[in-house]
């Protein structure tokens, strides 16, 4: 170890990087899981929620008497527009909370300021002092700079009502604030506003009504039986949706983020450790080969096979011990860092960071097992060497017959005739094992680099496809009530509006062979082009809509287990019986779980006798300079729930990618560090094996710089072989790794842009050249007399 301290240190670092990645990702995943569970426990996240068109408050008392119900909370929920300032509008989800007490289910944690109190001003008394109060969710307040005491304006029914921000807080069901499963979170565009229930009722003129019931199930109770009992009570009030906890939008998005972290936590370290094991095995094999003389001498002096075997296993165990200790310390530091990044991104109100005994156990077991596995075969080979054979010079290093390689014979007229080129080319074929090891090292380096670097291009490609291809609109709006023909014509006439397309959005439950999926279906005209489709199976989108069929995204088709031609049952709040609809096409959707059907089928799902459904969504193409004004005007329309400018959504997503890029940067740092260590070990072993050869050449007068040039030329020639192979295997590894990150909401594929290939290859060549420096310096420091000694 002392003699080879640089190589030994590099091998320790190699194992440490693998353990660091495992400890960092697994611990951060565990921290996130514990933090999310703690938030759900303390804030009493509902086991399920039922949304209805409108039910009397007395329904909550009936639900409380259902066997197995531990707690129930009814509330009125309204989606409407909100103004932070004259030029800043957003969608607000106003949620009613009890007056004078916290909700028993989906509790509200007020992090700054005070819980809202009931407003006398909304009671109809114009002379009553004060304004209605609200708690605004933490994420929206951070995005927009809102603080306690500030004013916001809500726009129910097109009216402007000023509300005072009494506090900033968070509830269990909107830790990750999105309106519906599959929605794209947009900075500063979705506010959850908590007001006293009576104030919400007065805002919309609908007293004594709940639109959602959230339920906690008692320990040991059968949840499905409880859901059945609750739905029976609420059936007269038109049940729109029953959301179980795993499907609750915020919780679903939160768990998906944590799940992706789990995928990285196990797949990325596994890749790094596999490469570390293979690299370590190669390094120890070459160490044994380079110490044949010492092994033969030791055995001739009486050392037994077990002692020789144990000697090389101790070398491997020392690497394991050093790597696991260093890796665990670095891993814990990275785990804390990654956890804090995720806590900030996901708005988790509680941070749980621990040292996990299982992580310590598995990291030590993996490092020890990996190093022993890597060292066992080389150590066994060393123990089996016969002393006489071992003390001879390695036959692999002897030039047998001095033959010219076939490549040189075939391409001789086209190859440079210089000594500096021909000798490196011949060396590649003279020492084939060394050449193969070098190519493997370069391949490993590329696999690691491509697997991590592809994260950047993959996200860029995902966003480019979503916003520049699939979504063919500039401004989109949804409404709680149908848009009349006159209103649509009025919108069409607004300044800057060049095209308007209407659609219907219907909440539906899809059922097939016992599998279900709940989500929004978009009913559109076959000629509409506000959404472009990438059909992977079935007829074209226009034909599917003309045939009144369904177009499903691949993720939902896989979830339901359906294929083109299958007939599924679609239930909506407006039809008591499921309607059979045939799946005509399956599309590859980049982001989101959008489902589409025809306008006629939409009418049938609504139970409407007319063939043209009433539209509750508008998609507009608008001149860039008019988009902000059109957004403001749309929010002024009665029933406006949400309005998005596509370019603002895209910019917001790109801003949020700063976290992804930071996370990717950490992965890339691991990849590059591993690449450097792998190549460094390979080149160090190359020089060590050729010590006598290089020393002999220097003894007969060869210049050290000329030798360094030939070593570099040899490595570059091997890189010509290793780089293409590494690129192919790297893409395969990246695809396998990123496939585990795909979810119901988006399909994640490994993508590398052409310019990225150039940068990666140049980077690897740069790593190759830098990694050469320490071994080549050894050429200039060789003790020629000592290096040319031979033990025979």
What single string gives the DSSP state of each residue in 395-419? GGGS-STTPPPHHHHHHGGGS---H
Query: Sorting pLDDT into bands at 50, 70 and 90, what band is 390?
Result: low
Query: Sorting pLDDT into bands at 50, 70 and 90, what band is 33?
Result: confident
**Mean pLDDT throughout 457-482?**
89
DSSP per-residue codes, 704-736: HHHHHHHHHHHHHHHHHHHHHHHHHHHHHHHHH
Last residue of a domain, one of 602, 622, 642: 622
Residue 391: the pLDDT is 61
Question: For the chain, how long is the longest CA-to-CA vector?
Answer: 110
**Mean pLDDT throughout 509-517?**
89
Residues 220 and 350 in one domain: no
Residues 10 and 77 in one domain: no
Query: Sorting pLDDT into bands at 50, 70 and 90, what band is 369?
Result: confident
Query: Sorting pLDDT into bands at 50, 70 and 90, what band is 398?
Result: very low
Query: Sorting pLDDT into bands at 50, 70 and 90, what band is 400?
Result: very low
Residues 261 and 246 in one domain: no
Residue 268 belongs to a domain: yes
Last residue of a domain, one of 194, 223, 251: 251
Do 43 and 172 touch, CB atoms closer than 8 A?
A: yes
Distance (Å, rounded) from C-alpha 612 to C-alpha 718?
Answer: 68
Contacts of 300 (CB under 8 A, 6+ apart): 387, 391
Higher pLDDT, 647 or 430: 647
Residues 36 and 81 in one domain: no
**Would residue 764 be called left, alpha or beta, if left means φ above 0 and alpha means ψ between -120 and 50 degrees?**
alpha
Residue 792: the pLDDT is 43
Distance (Å, rounded) from C-alpha 366 to C-alpha 364?
Answer: 6
**Mean pLDDT throughout 711-733?**
87
E strand or H helix that includes residue 384:
helix 357-384
Buried b (16+ CB within 10 A) or exposed e, 182-221: bbbbbbbbbbbbbbbbbbbbbbbeeeebbbbbbbbbeeee
Residue 479 belongs to a domain: no
**Mean pLDDT throughout 544-562?**
92
CA torsion 155→160→162→167, rounded to 10°? 10
Residues 547 and 604 in one domain: yes
Query: pLDDT at residue 550 above 90?
Result: yes
Distance (Å, rounded) from C-alpha 746 to C-alpha 462?
Answer: 9
Query: Sorting pLDDT into bands at 50, 70 and 90, what band is 397?
Result: very low
Distance (Å, rounded) from C-alpha 456 to C-alpha 189?
Answer: 25
Residue 486 belongs to a domain: no
Residues 360 and 447 in one domain: no
**Mean pLDDT throughout 763-790?**
74
Residues 161 and 193 in one domain: yes
> Which token pair is 80?
């409407």
Distance (Å, rounded) from C-alpha 683 to C-alpha 669?
Answer: 21
Do 243 and 405 touch, CB atoms closer than 8 A?
A: no
Contacts of 165 (CB under 8 A, 6+ apart): 113, 133, 134, 135, 136, 141, 146, 147, 148, 149, 150, 151, 152
Residue 50 CA to its chain's centroid (Å): 30
The range of the structural domain enclosing residue 9 comes to 1-45+252-392
Question: How many domains is the chain built from?
Answer: 4
Higher pLDDT, 504 or 286: 504
Residue 641 belongs to a domain: no
Output the CA angle 264-269-275, nearest 5 degrees.
135
Residue 785: the pLDDT is 66
Higher pLDDT, 739 or 232: 232
Convert the pLDDT of each residue in 164-192 to its tens digit: 999 999 998 998 888 887 777 788 889 99
Residue 60: the pLDDT is 94
Sole residue written with tokens 């069929």: 549
Residue 609: the pLDDT is 57
Query: Sorting pLDDT into bands at 50, 70 and 90, what band is 530?
Result: very high
Residue 599 belongs to a domain: yes
Q: 218 in helix, strand or coil?
A: coil
Residue 18: the pLDDT is 80
Query: pLDDT at residue 402 above 60?
Result: no
Do 687 and 698 touch, CB atoms closer than 8 A?
A: no
Residues 40 and 20 in one domain: yes
Higher pLDDT, 186 or 242: 242
Strand partners, 96: 195
**Mean pLDDT throughout 395-401?**
46
E strand or H helix that includes residue 26:
helix 5-42
Distance (Å, rounded) from C-alpha 683 to C-alpha 776?
Answer: 9
Q: How far is CA 308 from CA 4, 5, 187, 385, 393, in A?
A: 18, 20, 64, 10, 19
Distance (Å, rounded) from C-alpha 288 to C-alpha 312?
Answer: 8
Residue 76: the pLDDT is 94
Give percent of the chain above pLDDT 90: 29
Last residue of a domain, one of 224, 251, 278: 251
Higher pLDDT, 684 or 84: 84
Residue 630 belongs to a domain: no
Residues 63 and 199 in one domain: yes
Convert the pLDDT of each residue in 655-675 to its tens digit: 777 667 777 777 777 777 777
Residue 636: the pLDDT is 86
Distance (Å, rounded) from C-alpha 269 to C-alpha 15?
Answer: 11
Residues 309 and 437 in one domain: no
Distance (Å, rounded) from C-alpha 693 to C-alpha 216?
Answer: 77
Distance (Å, rounded) from C-alpha 780 to C-alpha 707?
Answer: 10
Query: pLDDT at residue 566 above 90?
Result: yes
Of the ranges 103-117, 349-363, 506-520, 763-777, the best mean pLDDT one: 103-117
Residues 158 and 64 in one domain: yes
| Inter-helix orientation angle 646-689/691-699, to 10° | 70
Residue 400 belongs to a domain: no
Sole residue written with tokens 């966003």: 463
Contacts of 662 (CB under 8 A, 6+ apart): 341
Among 506, 604, 611, 595, residue whose Cα is nearest residue 559:
595
Convert the pLDDT of each residue in 35-46 to its tens digit: 888 999 999 999
Mean pLDDT of the chain: 83
Residue 738: the pLDDT is 76
Residue 642 belongs to a domain: no
According to DSSP, the β-strands at 77-85 and 133-137 are unpaired
Query: pLDDT at residue 697 above 90?
Result: no
> Which token pair is 405?
């390689």
Convert the pLDDT of each residue in 74-128 to its tens digit: 999 999 889 988 788 888 999 999 998 999 999 999 999 999 988 765 555 544 4
Query: pLDDT at residue 692 above 90?
Result: no
> Which token pair is 752?
């590398």
Residue 64: the pLDDT is 94
pTM above 0.85, yes or no: no
> Which token pair is 587?
């599309």
Residues 664 and 536 in one domain: no
Distance (Å, rounded) from C-alpha 512 to C-alpha 562?
Answer: 7
Of the ranges 491-505, 738-752, 772-786, the best mean pLDDT one: 491-505
Q: How far is CA 427 from CA 398, 405, 423, 513, 715, in A?
A: 11, 9, 6, 65, 10
């Amino acid at each position: 170890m002392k003699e080879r301290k640089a190589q030994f240190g590099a091998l320790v670092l190699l194992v440490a990087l693998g353990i660091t990645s495992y400890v960092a990702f697994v611990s951060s995943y565990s921290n996130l899981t514990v933090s999310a569970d703690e938030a759900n426990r303390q804030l009493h996240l509902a086991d399920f929620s039922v949304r209805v068109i409108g039910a009397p408050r007395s329904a909550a008392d009936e639900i409380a008497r259902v066997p197995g119900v531990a707690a129930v909370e009814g509330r009125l929920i309204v989606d409407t527009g909100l103004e932070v300032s004259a030029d800043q509008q957003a969608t607000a989800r106003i949620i009613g909370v009890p007056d004078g007490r916290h909700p028993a289910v989906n509790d509200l944690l007020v992090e700054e300021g005070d819980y809202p109190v009931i407003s006398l001003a909304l009671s109809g008394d114009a002379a009553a002092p004060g304004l209605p109060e609200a708690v605004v969710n933490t994420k929206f307040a951070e995005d927009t700079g809102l603080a306690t005491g500030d004013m916001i304006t809500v726009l129910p029914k097109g009216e402007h009502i000023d509300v005072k921000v009494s506090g900033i807080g968070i509830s269990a069901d909107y830790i990750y604030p999105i309106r519906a499963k599959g929605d794209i979170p947009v900075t500063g565009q979705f506010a959850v506003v908590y007001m006293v229930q009576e104030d919400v009722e007065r805002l919309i003129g609908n007293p004594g009504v709940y639109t959602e019931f959230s339920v906690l199930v008692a320990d040991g109770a059968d949840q499905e039986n409880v859901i059945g009992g609750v739905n029976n009570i609420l059936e007269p009030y038109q049940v729109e949706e029953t959301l179980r906890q795993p499907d609750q939008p915020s919780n679903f998005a939160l768990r998906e983020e944590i799940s992706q972290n789990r995928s990285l936590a196990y797949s990325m370290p596994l890749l790094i450790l596999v490469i570390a094991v293979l690299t370590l095995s190669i390094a120890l094999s070459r160490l044994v080969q380079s110490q044949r003389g010492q092994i033969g001498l030791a055995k001739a002096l009486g050392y037994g096979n077990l002692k020789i075997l144990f000697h090389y296993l101790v070398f491997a165990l020392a690497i394991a011990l050093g790597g696991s200790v260093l890796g665990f310390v670095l891993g814990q530091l990275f785990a804390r860092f990654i956890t804090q990044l995720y806590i900030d991104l996901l708005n988790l109100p509680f941070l749980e960071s621990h040292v996990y005994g299982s992580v310590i156990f598995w990291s030590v077991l993996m490092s020890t097992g990996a190093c022993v596995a890597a060292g066992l075969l080389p150590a066994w080979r060393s123990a089996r060497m016969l002393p006489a054979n071992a003390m001879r010079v390695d036959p692999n290093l002897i030039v047998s017959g001095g033959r010219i390689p076939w490549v040189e014979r075939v391409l001789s007229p086209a190859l440079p005739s210089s000594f500096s080129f021909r000798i490196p080319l011949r060396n590649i074929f003279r020492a084939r094992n060394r050449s193969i090891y070098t190519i493997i090292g370069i391949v490993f380096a590329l696999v690691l680099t491509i697997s991590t670097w592809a994260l950047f291009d993959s996200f860029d490609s995902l966003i480019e496809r979503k916003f520049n291809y699939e979504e063919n609109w500039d401004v989109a709006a949804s409404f709680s009530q149908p848009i009349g023909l006159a209103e649509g014509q009025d919108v069409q006439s607004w300044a800057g509006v060049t095209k308007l397309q209407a659609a219907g959005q219907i909440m539906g439950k899809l059922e097939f062979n016992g599998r279900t999926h709940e989500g929004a279906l978009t009913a559109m005209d076959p000629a509409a082009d506000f959404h472009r489709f990438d059909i992977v199976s079935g007829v074209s989108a226009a034909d599917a809509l003309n045939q009144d069929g369904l177009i499903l995204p691949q993720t939902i088709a896989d979830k339901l287990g359906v294929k083109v031609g299958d007939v599924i049952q679609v239930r909506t709040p407006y039809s008591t019986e499921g309607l059979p609809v045939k799946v005509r096409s399956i599309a590859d959707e980049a982001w989101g779980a959008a489902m589409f059907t025809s306008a006629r089928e939409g009418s049938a799902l609504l139970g409407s006798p007319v063939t043209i459904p009433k539209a509750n969504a508008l998609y507009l193409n608008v001149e860039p300079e008019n988009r902000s004004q059109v957004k403001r005007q749309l929010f002024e329309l009665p029933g406006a729930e949400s309005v998005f400018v596509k370019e603002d959504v895209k910019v917001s997503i790109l801003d949020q990618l700063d976290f992804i890029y930071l996370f990717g940067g950490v992965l890339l740092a691991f990849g590059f560090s591993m690449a450097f260590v792998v190549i460094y070990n390979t080149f160090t072993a190359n020089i060590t094996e050729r010590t006598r050869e290089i020393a002999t050449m220097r003894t007969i007068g060869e210049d050290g710089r000329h030798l360094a040039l030939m070593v570099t030329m040899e490595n570059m020639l091997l890189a010509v072989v290793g780089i293409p192979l590494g690129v192919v295997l790297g893409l395969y590894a990246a695809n396998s790794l990123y496939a585990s990150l795909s979810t119901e909401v988006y399909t994640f594929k490994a993508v590398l842009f052409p310019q990225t290939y150039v940068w990666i290859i140049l980077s690897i060549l740069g790593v190759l050249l830098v990694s050469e420096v320490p071994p080549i310096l050894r050429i200039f420091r060789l003790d020629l007399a000592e290096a040319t000694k031979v033990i025979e």
